[in-house]
Structure 1
């Protein structure tokens, strides 16, 4: 637990502005020892008290760089990529070979921004959305924060549905998906409530049972994977549309990637942070998406899998795969359902930080309290979303890639072009000073104007633009390229008018 003097010292180290000291003082809500259940819970040593304030250099002492890999590996080693891969063959009608090539190519490309942005964490000590203030400004950053909150909440909902349905499948219907969703969400909330240290400790080891369960499931159901439904060669539009879904799965992680590296030593080699982030996200995502595509292609030809899909969606398929293993198989299904906790807990952690950025005065509310708030939001929506899972999954992941690509384009262009890759230009003395930060008009205008081409290039279940009719979904490519091109002149004009960077 951080005491009063440490908080004030941290604020001074981060730049000693009046706003910083105020932030340290108002966090006294978190220090009311003995006054209420929340303050008692937060008095435990392993509960992180710090919110969105930049981490001072003397507190960036974590030397275990490999924990970045284990965190991303655990976040990705669960049924979510499997379920996403299943849409390739079940929804898009792609062959296993075509699905695998699309997954590989788009994953190689779309994991790059996540790895790049993670390298800023140790050197700035700032969470990803705090860094975004240096391009989107103090007030206008609330717009990408709202979009990011919606995205992260959506992932939590999908994860909760998968975990709940998988628990329900192993119980033979005695435990409903609704109860399963509640169980998964509440456990994830407890991990998230504690914060950075507990989260990293959990993610350090939680991948082991998850990996065992996935390997056993693959071994039990592997003999059916060759029973693929025959399909015709895919059209280019279908390839690009599924590629956009893969992009929508990966690129949004760029809006929170440095959140998990802010306590690393500032001198940590960038290649290590990039490499561990990239590998931790890329390896399990690709392998499990390909596995999911193989499972989805065989579902119509395997009666037990088809029945499981009808009753409990993807969770029912995984339970059917492990059915030949008897009681041990049921235990593996339980492990699979709880493997989703690594993803939900880490996502919830970033959500709690984003809440404090949504409106400036929300920094006064303890980060941990938002873990309870987001859980109360996720549970009822998850219960509703479970009724039409695959449709909701496609719609959600397909859409989030557009805004995330525009956001990533702004932040990367700002860092690479205007700051020449120099992290020292992110002065901690202005992180909550509206007058010291850019107005954000250039960033918001570039991102908004890009949608003049993004919207005609979209291909969703509910809308297909005139460009996408001929090309397939190329919305995320348009968002990234057009935003980056527009941001350069817009930002140069902003700097000229403001008289500072």
Structure 2
């Protein structure tokens, strides 16, 4: 029997699960819903801003578009393969990292991931506020808390509401941005704002890396939104729907951003949307900018939700937490306060900050995604002692040196190849400023972890897996709490 048929009627409105395992009896949902969820998740103004980077650093339009398309395609590949972990393990994305890093050692990637969640929400709330200020009065200090509060409410209700909103928003966003794309192509002259732009290998790799990093950043919470799917769903289907939704929307909006950025000098995301849309007919640009706010609010909620799960996982490694609605709300509020504080002090000219932000995401997340995927697909092949992931003295230990060493070695190997506005590694200088750190980090971290686990004693883990299966079976058979 499909678990969704027996549990749909009694699922609470407010999600009760947090970092804990989702029993099979509570699993529900349809695989294809991952497509529109991630399409809309990426179909936000922030994604378009990523396309501005190429023209802003002097890369020509054609090469900018090619760089973001290839970069988005490359980064989404890794993100989509994480989606398969959700239904197999029934866990949020980041707590799975305990199997590679230990219950406390996982704090290393957790810190990087919290940086990603907070950073994205800072840029999202800034853009949403700028859009609302086109039609409503009020300073940033007024609108930031209002918008963040709405995102908090969505995040508190949780998984099912977020899936519902994302799925139905996709139709409206496609219609609006299809018209906006037509308006841009018919009213702007691509490349006119950067007449001296040309191909440069270093700049191409910077844009490629930024697009890839933007997409890989979603890997840190992709299983958060697939963990309720039944455990027997098709792996190729989960991966394919996730890839299609996230990659198509990124390629579209980043390319649109590159086109607008090459045609408008010093483009501003919201102002550019208004200008381009109004060229189609009066008022449409303002409408398009304002209608992007709900999408920004829903992705803000998704980021708050994911940050709460990651933060709770980090705290639980040192002081065990009992998952509860109250704990979820407190975690979401703490992250929201941090977002509000940073948003108030960030410079108005945020494009340079955004460029560095997405590159820093790439640097810190590449070693984690390599270790996590190699462990799931090549070392443990999807088989874990789920119950032990929550036990401080479990089979995975507090500090797992193999994952930590592989992460550190991979990150160190990337440093000579890094290129940012404030640092350029010697290897990057030697190849003309090209940033290939992502490739170096993936290979070094992944291979290092695989080599370090060749002598891994699986006998103790197999015994723990058998015990875990019995615990999970008892949980699945347990009476649903009122």
TM-score by structure 2 length?
0.86
* Counterpart-to-counterpart distance in 2, 1:428 and 1:487: 21
Change (3 A) 1:474 1:198: same
CA contact (8 A) 2:273 2:288 kept: no
* The one of 154, 157, 171 aligned to 1:194: 157
Deviations 1:82-115 (A, max 9, x none): 11101111x2211111011111222222211111
Pair 1:57 & 2:24 matched:
yes
* The one of 333, 342, 361 aligned to 2:289: 333
> Could you say which residue in structure 1 is the equivalent of 2:328?
367
* The one of 200, 216, 230 aligned to 1:235: 200
* Counterpart-to-counterpart distance in 2, 1:317 and 1:399: 26
* Counterpart-to-counterpart distance in 2, 1:362 and 1:190: 26
Cα displacement (A) at 1:500: 4.9
> Could you say which residue in structure 2 is the equivalent of 1:108?
73
Cα displacement (A) at 1:296: 0.2
* The one of 280, 284, 287 aligned to 2:249: 284
Change (3 A) 1:497 1:74: closer
* The one of 429, 440, 447 aligned to 2:387: 429
Pair 1:445 & 2:405 matched:
yes
Cα displacement (A) at 1:180: 3.7
* Counterpart-to-counterpart distance in 1, 2:106 and 2:198: 44
Change (3 A) 1:177 1:299: farther
Deviations 1:165-187 (A, max 9, x none): 2222344xx33344343333222
Cα displacement (A) at 1:68: 1.2
* The one of 43, 47, 50 aligned to 1:77: 43
> Could you say which residue in structure 1 is the equivalent of 2:476?
none
* Counterpart-to-counterpart distance in 1, 2:414 and 2:65: 26
**For 2:424, what is the secondary structure of its paired residue?**
coil
Q: Which moved more, 1:389-398 or 1:230-239?
A: 230-239
The 5 A counterparts of 1:116-195 are 116-171=81-136, 174-195=137-158
Cα displacement (A) at 1:362: 6.2
> Could you say which residue in structure 1 is the equivalent of 2:369?
408
CA contact (8 A) 1:51 1:363 kept: no
* Counterpart-to-counterpart distance in 1, 2:66 and 2:277: 27
> Could you say which residue in structure 2 is the equivalent of 1:342?
298
**For 1:459, what is the secondary structure of its paired residue?**
coil
CA contact (8 A) 1:95 1:297 kept: yes
**For 2:350, what is the secondary structure of its paired residue?**
helix
CA contact (8 A) 1:121 1:128 kept: yes
What is the CA RMSD across the aligned residues, in angstroms? 2.2
Q: Which moved more, 1:191-200 or 1:327-336?
A: 327-336
Deviations 1:420-441 (A, max 9, x none): x2x3x21222121233215421
Cα displacement (A) at 1:452: 2.6
Cα displacement (A) at 1:326: 3.0
Q: Give 5+ residue unaligned stretches, structure 1.
A: 1-43, 301-305
* Counterpart-to-counterpart distance in 1, 2:425 and 2:115: 23
CA contact (8 A) 2:275 2:285 kept: no
* Counterpart-to-counterpart distance in 2, 1:113 and 1:154: 21
> Could you say which residue in structure 2 is the equivalent of 1:38?
none
Pair 1:380 & 2:380 matched:
no
Q: Which moved more, 1:348-357 or 1:282-291?
A: 348-357
* Counterpart-to-counterpart distance in 2, 1:299 and 1:177: 25
> Could you say which residue in structure 1 is the equivalent of 2:423?
463
Deviations 1:408-460 (A, max 9, x none): 110111122211x2x3x212221212332154211011111223321111000
Q: Which moved more, 1:269-278 or 1:181-190?
A: 181-190
Cα displacement (A) at 1:321: 2.0
> Could you say which residue in structure 2 is the equivalent of 1:476?
438
* Counterpart-to-counterpart distance in 2, 1:381 and 1:481: 34
**For 1:468, what is the secondary structure of its paired residue?**
helix
Change (3 A) 1:331 1:106: closer
Pair 1:314 & 2:273 matched:
no
Cα displacement (A) at 1:231: 3.2
CA contact (8 A) 1:184 1:338 kept: no
Cα displacement (A) at 1:204: 1.5
CA contact (8 A) 1:240 1:474 kept: yes
Deviations 1:395-416 (A, max 9, x none): 1111110121100110111122
* Counterpart-to-counterpart distance in 2, 1:318 and 1:386: 21
Cα displacement (A) at 1:126: 1.2
> Could you say which residue in structure 1 is the equivalent of 2:311?
355
Change (3 A) 1:340 1:92: same
TM-score by structure 1 length?
0.83
> Could you say which residue in structure 1 is the equivalent of 2:451?
489
